[in-house]
Structures are given as C-alpha cells and as structure tokens.
C-alpha cells in the first residue's frame, strides 16, 4: 500500500472527518479547515492515532480545549487530533494520574470534592491540562510545576516515554516541550501530587477563584490571555497595554477587551479572520514597545497556514 492508502485506511478506522472547520473547536471561533480531524476519547486511542500519522508520514497537530490557540485562515495540513481523553485515577497517597485531555476546571473541582487540595488555583483555567503543560499553565501565584511529578508522552517517532517533572524545564509560561529539546512530544497523561485537604475549604477557595475570574476576565469568544507578563517591569502585560491607550482597539472582528486589556475578543464571529487577530497582536506589541520600551511576548500558540491568495 502507498502512504496515501495507509492514511486513508487508518483515518477510516479512527472515524476521521475530512475538511473539518477548526473554528468550531477553538474558543476564539476562527481558523481554517483540517485535512483530517479525529476526536480522541482515551490515551490509548491518542497513542494509536499518533503512531498512525507517523506511519503514514503526515504532519500531526493535537488540539485540546482550544483555548489560547489561534489557527490561521488556511487551516492545518495533515491530521488534527481533538484530545478528549479525560480519565483520572488515584495511584497513591494524594497522587493522581490524569489523561491529558482533562479540563483544568473540572479536575480542580473533582479533586477538591475527593478531599485533595492543591489545584484550587486551576479552577479558572478553561483549557485542558495537556495543552497547558508546555506553557506551565498557572494562575494566582501557582502553576503546574508545583504539583507535577511526571508525564507520559509519545515521541515524534511514536515511542512511549515517561519523564520526571524536572526533565521538562518548567518555567514561567515555558518549558522544553515548547520549542526546546522535547518539542514534538505529546503528553498522554500526567501524574500529580496533591495533599490531603478539607473538601469544604477547597470548594470555597474554588468559588473565590471563579468569582475573581468572572469579575476580571471577559466572557464570549476570545484568545484568552495573550501576552506573558514581562520579567523586567513591575506592571502586568494588561497594565502596559492599558497604559498605551489600547483598550477597545479593533481590527476587523478582533478587539482589545475594555475589561481586561490582555484579552483580545472576537466581536463579529460571522466575519472573523485569524489575520485580523494577528494584525492586532502585532499592533499591540508595537504600541507598547513605543510607549514603554518593552517587547511583549505572546503566550498563545499560533498554528496552521496562511489562506491562499486570490
């Protein structure tokens, strides 16, 4: 069989869809089509799909909850995996192993109900835990590095690898999984060490975190938090953007939030294009650099191809 025939057979087995609009699968609701789109329900299927793509010689992109990601208007070639693997089990005293498609907010609440503390800060994060791993996702002074013990990944060659947390080089909104020595590794599950806690106290803290997010983060389609906070300035990225007078700035359907300046909203879903969001990100960077002398660094992932001309 040719590689094309292998791919066709494997995609049929995985119930893949052709030419799937990726705007349906991101929080910001923009993005072109995927050549092949596969929804994965467990880590075993995730491993099988990664190996299938490798065997067929096609590129592979894994999409979690679709937060903090911008897919260009030309879409994504090859195979896109929508990771819905959400299994979780306790594997020791206060220790859990969770599949990489599990949502932060759901996991925070479920572990709190079970009397395990340590993930309350994650209640306001809308994404999947595997998607947040490369950027060491965090909030309110805590992040994944505080609780991560190890991670199981599948390498670009299709091999299963278990890595201790300290091998990932986790740091503020970055790691070796994001363009470093482990780029291309896909997390299948994470082992977290939590601590015994009081369920009522943890749930009360989760309610507080969720209230803070509702008060400070805009609702509706958006790219979420766009830029990392700078390390050489006491001001946050949002404060710098606001100081540059950029709240409400709009290009096409992309608009800097009036509530929180480090969010870019989709205010016209029917006409939205990724190119507008990219242009607005660049304008914000340029204006903040002129105003404050600081080059803001995006924390969102930008993937896919530009739309064809004509």
List the domain boundaries for the chain: 3-83, 88-214, 218-303
Residue 131 has pLDDT above 70, yes or no: yes
> What is the rounded average pLDDT of the residues 184-211?
97
The architecture (CATH level 2) of 218-303 comes to Alpha-Beta Complex (3.90)
Q: How far apart are CA 61 and CA 195, in angstroms?
A: 34
Residue 8 has pLDDT above 90, yes or no: no
Query: How much is the pLDDT for 310?
Result: 59
Q: Tell me the pairing of strands 76-83 and 33-40.
A: parallel
Q: How far apart are CA 243 and CA 220, in angstroms?
A: 24
Q: Is 225 a catalytic residue?
A: yes
Give the number of other CB atoms < 10 A from CB of residue 57. Answer: 11
Q: List the structure tokens of 202.
A: 């943890």
> What does the DSSP assignment read for 18-44?
EEEEGGGGSTT----EEEEEEEE-SHH
> What does the DSSP assignment read for 154-165?
E-TTS-EEEEEG
pLDDT confidence tier of residue 247, bands split at 50, 70 and 90? very high
Per-residue burial over 176-204, b if 16 or more Cβ lie within 10 Å, else e, is bbbeeebeebbbbbbbbbbeebeeeebbe
**pLDDT tens by residue, 70-108:** 999 999 999 999 999 999 999 999 999 999 999 999 999
pTM exceeding the 0.85 threshold for the entire prediction: yes
Q: How far apart are CA 165 and CA 182, in angstroms?
A: 12
Q: Do domains 3-83 and 88-214 have the same CATH topology?
A: no
**pLDDT tens by residue, 205-222:** 999 999 999 998 899 999
Are 187 and 168 in contact by the 8 Å Cβ rule? The answer is no
Are 238 and 140 in contact by the 8 Å Cβ rule? The answer is no
Give the active site residue among 86, 103, 109, 173.
Answer: 173
Q: Is 159 a catalytic residue?
A: no
Class of domain 88-214: alpha beta
Q: Is 176 a catalytic residue?
A: no
Class of domain 3-83: alpha beta
Give the active site residue among 43, 85, 225, 257.
Answer: 225
Number of H helices, E strands in the chain: 7, 19
Are 128 and 100 in contact by the 8 Å Cβ rule? The answer is yes
Give the active site residue among 84, 205, 242, 299.
Answer: 299
Mean predicted lDDT score pLDDT of the chain:
94
């Amino acid at each position: 069989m040719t590689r094309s025939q292998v791919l066709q057979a494997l995609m049929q087995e995985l119930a893949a869809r052709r030419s799937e609009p990726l705007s349906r699968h991101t929080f910001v609701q923009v993005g072109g089509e995927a050549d092949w789109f596969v929804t994965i329900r467990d880590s075993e299927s995730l491993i099988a799909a990664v190996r299938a793509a490798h065997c067929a010689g096609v590129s592979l992109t894994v999409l979690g909850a679709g937060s903090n990601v911008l897919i260009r208007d030309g879409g994504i070639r090859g195979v896109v995996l929508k990771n819905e693997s959400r299994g979780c089990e306790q594997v020791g005293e206060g220790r859990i192993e969770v599949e990489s498609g599990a949502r932060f907010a759901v996991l925070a609440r479920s572990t709190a109900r079970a009397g395990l503390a340590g993930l309350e800060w994650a209640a306001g994060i809308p994404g999947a835990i595997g998607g947040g791993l490369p950027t060491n996702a965090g909030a309110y002074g805590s992040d994944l590095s505080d609780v991560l013990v190890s991670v199981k990944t599948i390498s670009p060659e299709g091999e299963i690898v278990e890595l201790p947390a300290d091998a990932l080089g986790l740091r503020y909104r970055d790691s070796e999984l994001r363009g470093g020595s482990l780029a291309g590794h896909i997390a299948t599950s994470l082992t977290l060490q939590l601590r015994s806690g009081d369920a009522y106290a943890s749930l009360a803290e989760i309610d507080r975190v969720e209230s803070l997010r509702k008060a400070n983060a805009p609702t509706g389609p958006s790219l979420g938090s766009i830029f990392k906070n700078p390390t050489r300035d006491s001001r946050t990225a949002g404060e710098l953007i606001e100081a540059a007078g950029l709240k409400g700035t709009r290009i096409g359907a992309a608009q800097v939030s009036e509530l929180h300046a480090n969010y870019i909203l989709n205010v016209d879903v029917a006409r939205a294009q990724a190119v507008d969001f990219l242009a607005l990100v660049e304008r914000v960077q340029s204006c903040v650099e002129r105003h404050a002398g600081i080059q803001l660094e995006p924390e969102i992932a930008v993937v896919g191809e530009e739309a064809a001309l004509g």
